[in-house]
Amino acid sequence: MSKLLLGSAYWAPVSYYAALYRNGGAVIEQYDSYVKQTYRNRCTIVAAQGVQSLTVPVEKPTSPHTVMRDIRISDHGNWRHLHASAIASAYGSSPFYEYYADDINRLYEQRYDFLLDYNMAQIECVCSWLGITLDIVRSTQYVVPDAAGVIDLRQAIHPKHPDETLLAPYRPQPYYQVFSAKHGFVADASILDLLCNMGNESLLTLAGKR
């Protein structure tokens, strides 16, 4: 069976978790070079005013090729409070936000030095919410592209340049969203969007059964 390879992502999109769930886990690459304007430090939520991006500030890398595992979170600004407030505003009226609110707020109250550790903590939290156990490990070295026996989605899941061919099997079918009457269905938002709107039924969407 092929092994799934994913990059690290902040409140990753639904397709990311669909790939994780259907493959029973993944290797999370931690030795790739950090790249700005990717899901490594940003996510997309759906608020009353429309699609909203949340970005975690990071300390300036020490070199152009600083690897993901060495990227430190910056305390610049009051971003933790702003992100938690934005999520509460977007999903406070959704059917299931209240079930996750305490854990979400705890993740923003707890300080993480490294972005990778923070993103991994989010995956652990999401799996706990869904009641699933997945085989998720960090890479022990950089995995070269086109490695044998690997489903490589590291570059495919991208906010601006997604690889639709590779992602087609994992794209979610439309599900209930609080603001769909205003904005229509917004595909592949953060996993928070799916969870807050669908709760445990999120597993059906991740499994491709909707």
Give me the amino acid identity at 44: T
Say if CB 26 and CB 203 are below 8 A apart: no
Location of structure tokens 């990753």: 12
Mean pLDDT, rounded, of the chain: 95
Average pLDDT over residues 142-153: 91
Q: Give every CB contact of residue 20 below 8 A, 6+ residues apart in sequence.
A: 4, 6, 26, 123, 134, 136
Is the pLDDT higher at 86 or at 65?
86
pLDDT digits over 159-207, tens only?
999 999 999 999 989 999 999 999 999 999 999 999 999 999 999 999 9
Give the SS3 label for residue 108. Answer: helix
Residue 1 has pLDDT above 60, yes or no: no
Give the SS3 label for residue 137. Answer: strand
Helix (H) or strand (E) holding 105: helix 97-109
pLDDT digits over 24-39, tens only?
999 999 999 999 999 9
% of residues, the chain, pLDDT over 70: 99
Identify the pLDDT of residue 89. Answer: 97
Strands of the 150-152 sheet, one edge to the other: 135-138, 25-28, 3-6, 150-152
Identify the pLDDT of residue 154. Answer: 96
